[in-house]
Structure 1
Amino acid sequence: MTENEEALYPPVDPIRVGLQGCCPRCGRGRLFEGFLKLKPQCSACGLDYDFADAGDGPAVFVMLIMGFLIIGLALWFDARFAPPVWLHALIWVPLATILSLVLLKKFKGIMIALQYRNNASEGRIDRD
């Protein structure tokens, strides 16, 4: 951020704005147009979202967290109650699907906000 941008837009908490799906510069405009599709720019401050490229990062974090959570809960549930397999499928498949979709949007917002805050970009080789 330049000094002019810092004066106009004081730094916002990237975790908070990422979880809320707000603009990483002003914290007011919306980040997403659809479920996971980014808007072209912020409606409040005009920040162009072309810099944003979360890649596969959010999906990797969600898979790791959900795998740990769902498998742990399923193992505990099986040891405690010994339900039939169909009941496991009835409980864990919808739960994993819904939680994964919710977490994916939240983590994508956080990754983009952190990318803006740290001025992160794709690595390039300088050839002088």
Structure 2
Amino acid sequence: MSLTIKTATPVDTNDVKVIPAMRRGFLNHCPACNQGRLFRRFLKVVDHCESCGTEFHHHRADDLPPYLVIFIVGHLIGYGILMSETKLEVPMWVHLAIWPALTLILCLALLQPMKGAVVGLQYALGMHGFGVARARKNDEDN
């Protein structure tokens, strides 16, 4: 079963599937064509795709990616601490060496992919100007 969202613009006849668009963004690919890069720096989204020309300057992936990263990493680290405390006898210095470092590594590793997934979600749902840009691009192609 695939989740498909139709945008509210009457000109756009193309269906955009949410999960593939989010997966493409998660992997740092353009949500539209899967060819171009989505980021030019660590968290800086490109203005437009160099492959298909889709505009990304109007995205609004501000607070959701860090919230998702905090939610995921907090649950993983909290579960890891709980299990290591209940199942293993680990000295406190090991906990102080492992868990903060692992938290930092996981947060930095997940932040860009989460932002890409949120940009892909916004693209698929036609949010924040993506629907209008997609309709304009379809008009130019026809």
Which whole-Å CA distance do the structure 2 matches of 1:82 and 1:71 have between them?
17
**Equivalent residue, structure 2, for 1:68:** 75
Give the alignment's TM-score, normalised by structure 2.
Answer: 0.75
1:86 to 93, 97, 102: 93
Structure 1 segments of 4+ aligned residues over 4 angstroms from their partners: 1-4
Gaps of 5+ in 2: 1-6, 130-142
Equivalent AA in structure 2 for residue 18 of structure 1: G
2:46 touches 2:57 (CA, 8 Å); kept in 1? no
Kept in 1, the 8 Å contact 2:21–2:32? The answer is no
Question: Matches of residues 22-37 of structure 1 in structure 2 within 5 Å?
Answer: 22-37=29-44
How far residue 73 of structure 1 moved from its aligned partner, in angstroms, is 0.6
For 1:3-22, list aligned pairs within 5 A. 3=12, 6=14, 11=16, 13-22=20-29
Please give the alpha-carbon distance, in whole angstroms, between the structure 1 residues aligned to 2:109 and 2:124.
Answer: 23
Q: Does 2:92 align with 1:54?
A: no
Amino acid in the other structure paired with 1:45: C
Alignment partner of 2:47: what SS? coil
Deviations 1:87-123 (A, max 9, x none): 002111111111111111111011000101101129x
Question: AA paired with 1:112?
Answer: V
> Given the two structures, how large is their TM-score scaled by the length of structure 1?
0.82
